Amino acid sequence: MKRVLDSLRRRPRLAFALLTVLLAALPFIMGFGLGNSWVRVLDFVLLYVLLAIGLNIVVGYAGLLDLGYIAFYALGAYLYAWLASPHFGLHLPFWVVLPIGAAFAGLFGVLLGAPTLRLRGDYLAIVTLGFGEIIRIFMNNLNAPFNLTNGPQGMNLIDPVRIATFSFGKPLHFHGLTLPPTYFYYYLFLAFTLLAIFIALRLQDSRIGRAWAAIREDEVAAAAMGINTRNLKLLAFAMGATFGGLAGGLFAAFQGFISPESFTLWESILVLCMIVLGGMGNIPGVILGAILLTMIPEALRYIGDLQRATLGHVVVDPSDLRMLLFGVALVSMMLFRPAGLLPSRQRKREFAAENGVAEQEQASLYDAKA
């Protein structure tokens, strides 16, 4: 396995071609191998990758702990529903609604960022947590006096994505083969996810990315380097929120139904866990975290069937097991890979350095002559 990976690393073109074929064929492999419900899981994997990449900009790059990130997902989703559903009788096409939703969420990112500029760490986390809850509670209650969100019932019959005359909402029959909408959404989500990965990677090595790293390390020193810390922090909030809003719009179109229940604090924490588990600040790590934490709970469903087949009835509810394993996974990560599964170069160095630092300081106390 290792030899295969090494030889692929030496042939980047071949690796790229293989990856392209794999990504293109993946829904068919999953769909025919494991059943069409797994294509739906794949769609959600991509949505969570998109969310995790967005949150990683705020938390991983700029070091601003945001516990209310799902609010931007909610804002993107509700904006899509307002502009493309029978609720207001508007049916704008998705390529108009999605950018508006992303920008709308980005604007809220700045609105959240501006008053919290001077907060750091735990204090920032609490305020963002509150913000996430406020948005959800608003969505839950804004059905009176004017029905904006339809309250806890949520908004229904949201338009599916439509490109020219082709609607993503209906299955496609082709030579006796039936492809459900989940296949089309897979390719749409994949396109957006790849775009997000590209942007995030480019940002990391840019002047902006380096300034974020400096702010994360030491904000006063960053300002003393001539970095406009205020604008760059707002930019991090806005960019993260924009990705969240985009994912929200895609989610609304895909599901056709949204309600405040989809945007709880748990979702914010889940996305944060994906980043932490995978390796904060490192895009491959973040992607891996999102894939694992979306796929594993789905795979656990089979444990219910397994119990029924072997024991005759379900002893342990798979959804209870999910939380248990989730906790076990995070605790083992803390013990064995504290920097995450695929840590960024910087974090890996940091965690590896701990022991070296003390020795170094001892040794160099007396070597000033050198």
Q: Which is nearer to another protein, 177 or 363 (CB)?
A: 363
Q: How far, in Å, CA of 234 to CA of 73, rounded?
A: 18
Minimum distance between the CB of residue 56 and another protein, rounded to whole angstroms? 16
Q: Which is nearer to another protein, 80 or 212 (CB)?
A: 212
Q: Which is nearer to another protein, 86 or 356 (CB)?
A: 356
Q: Which is nearer to another protein, 83 or 214 (CB)?
A: 214
Residue 304 in 3-state DSSP? Answer: helix
Residue 321: both structure tokens together: 């097991």
Minimum distance between the CB of residue 224 and another protein, rounded to whole angstroms? 5
Q: Cβ(256)–Cβ(319) under 8 Å?
A: no
Residues that bind another protein (CB under 8 A): 207, 210-211, 213-214, 217-218, 220-230, 346-347, 349-350, 353, 356-357, 360-361, 363-370
Q: Which is nearer to another protein, 87 or 347 (CB)?
A: 347
Main-chain dihedrals φ then ψ at residue 179, nearest 5 degrees: -110, 115
Neighbours of 244 (CB within 10 A): 34
Q: How far, in Å, CA of 239 to CA of 247, rounded?
A: 13
Minimum distance between the CB of residue 220 and another protein, rounded to whole angstroms? 6
Q: How far, in Å, CA of 174 to CA of 172, rounded?
A: 6
CA pseudo-torsion sign 203, 205, 207, 212: positive
Minimum distance between the CB of residue 137 and another protein, rounded to whole angstroms? 34
With CA atoms as reference, report the closest residue to 345 among 199, 205, 139.
205
Q: Which is nearer to another protein, 92 or 350 (CB)?
A: 350
Q: Specify the pairing of strand 162-163 against strand 90-91.
A: unpaired
Minimum distance between the CB of residue 6 and another protein, rounded to whole angstroms? 24
Q: Hey, which bits of the chain come out as E strands?
A: 84-85, 90-91, 162-163, 166-167, 172-174, 177-179
With CA atoms as reference, report the closest residue to 43 among 161, 133, 136, 132.
161
Residue 98: both structure tokens together: 């999605």
Q: Cβ(237)–Cβ(113) under 8 Å?
A: yes
Minimum distance between the CB of residue 57 and another protein, rounded to whole angstroms? 17
Q: Which is nearer to another protein, 6 or 361 (CB)?
A: 361
Q: Which is nearer to another protein, 63 or 248 (CB)?
A: 63
Minimum distance between the CB of residue 142 and another protein, rounded to whole angstroms? 38
CA distances from 296 to 43, 269, 309, 318 (A): 14, 17, 21, 11
Q: Which is nearer to another protein, 218 or 320 (CB)?
A: 218
The type of residue at 8 is L
Minimum distance between the CB of residue 287 and another protein, rounded to whole angstroms? 22
Minimum distance between the CB of residue 342 and another protein, rounded to whole angstroms? 17
Q: How far, in Å, CA of 343 to CA of 337, rounded?
A: 9
Q: Could you say which DSSP state residue 66 is in? A: -
